[in-house]
Amino acid sequence: MIDTGDIDVFLGLDVGKGEHHATAVTPAGKKAFDKRLPSTEPKLRELFAKLQAKHGTVLVVVDQPASIGALPLAVARDMGCPVAYLPGLTMRRIADLYPGEAKTDAKDAFIIADAARAMPHTLRAIDGKDETIVGFDDDLADEATRVANRLHGLLTQIHPSLERVLGPRLQHPAVLTLLERFGSPAQIRKAGRRRLVTLLRPKAPRMAERLVEDIFTALDEQTVTVPGTDAAALIVPSLAGSLTAVLDQRKLLATRIEELLGAHPLSKVLTSMPGIGVRTGARILIEVGDGSTFPTASHLAAYAGIAPATRSSGSSIRGVQPSRRGNKQLKRAFFLSAFAALGDPASRIYYDKKIAQGKHHTQALLCLARRRADVLFAMLRDGTLYEPQPARSA
């Protein structure tokens, strides 16, 4: 939890593209400032300096630490002001405690400031790491999924057998090269086996001949031409080219993300845990930092949305369900790292135990992610590397 004992005034900023609304409250809850101001460095500096001169230490709190909230945070840091972040979902829940149903910038700024004053446990630290690259990589991952799904859909529409061969390998460079050159089953057949092997071998030396044979076997399973095949022949090469470009961008970013992660003192601690790679490690560090803002592992799990939620009302509604709340990006990182950790014997045994208890795949992974949150919290708290435990049967 962020220590606010030495804070003399709490400044809440409801950030906007052109202007922000700033509300400052004292530790006693009295408003010290409540006005709009342009989103420019001189005006921000003027406000921070005025509050510092009159009150002392100013805690600057925003509800969006990136994008439109980046400049106020940068200026605040440069002027020696501590900064913090109030998650938007948390802010909306806190807003229900205040009278009135109106939603205005002034009210939001006051809620941010007052929550920092009265409920400092809701704040999250911002340590200044560059989230831009990791966020862009997340966007590229979403775009790759979207384009790949479109390709899957088109191939399934015009030739299901061909999709069953190419689909599992759709992001392989050899398959994308093939689809960029030949966008329809007829074009692939016309190219011939020898030409295709020559085309694919540089991208897949060991797989080229077997893949080509599988492709022609699939082509022989369908003799009719499905309506829309000619249109798909124009779209498929374009989509394949787009997917190739997105994947190439992710490869370039991976090097930079690895540099960012390697520069962090806790990078070796994080990556020592099975299933945590460069991208998931960078995302966890951005969202969690050194973990010091979370009193316990349960707090971390709840923030990530991987703690089970109990539903109980008298005798009619009982049970435990997955939480629908929490930090979505952190939850995704925990979930992906749990899936990647299934190659670890201890993780696999725990996963199989949950499957044997009747849980389906997603539930079992969520249970594993929750268990790993306990371990990760202890590693971050103590600064120790992951120590494999002997695998125990259920």
- pLDDT at res. 204: 93
Report the amino acid identity of residue 57.
T
Q: How far apart are CA 248 and CA 254, in angstroms?
A: 10
- pLDDT at res. 293: 78
Are the C-beta atoms of residues 108 and 91 closer than 8 Å to each other?
yes
Q: How far apart are CA 372 and CA 190, in angstroms?
A: 52
Are the C-beta atoms of residues 144 and 171 closer than 8 Å to each other?
yes
Residue 37 pairs in a beta bridge with 20
Report the amino acid identity of residue 266.
L
Task: Provide the terminal-to-terminal Cα distance of the chain, rounded to the nearest Å.
Answer: 36
- pLDDT at res. 54: 94
Query: DSSP secondary-structure letter at 313?
Result: E
Closest CA to 217 of 158, 162, 155: 162
Percentage of the chain with pLDDT > 90?
61
- Listing DSSP states for 159-202 in one string gives -HHHHHHHGGGTTSHHHHHHHHH--SHHHHHHH-HHHHHHHHTT
Cα 82–Cα 83–Cα 84 angle in degrees, nearest 5: 135
pLDDT in tens, 141-162: 899 999 999 999 999 999 999 9
Q: How crowded is residue 248: how many other Cβ atoms within 10 Å of its Cβ? A: 12
Q: How crowded is residue 251: how many other Cβ atoms within 10 Å of its Cβ? A: 8
- pLDDT at res. 319: 57
What are the phi and psi torsion angles at 13 (to 5°)? -115, 115
Residue numbers of the chain with a pLDDT score lower than 50: 393-394
Strand order in the sheet with 58-62: 31-38, 19-25, 9-14, 58-62, 83-85, 124-125
pTM tops 0.85: no
Closest CA to 384 of 285, 266, 280: 266
- pLDDT at res. 394: 43
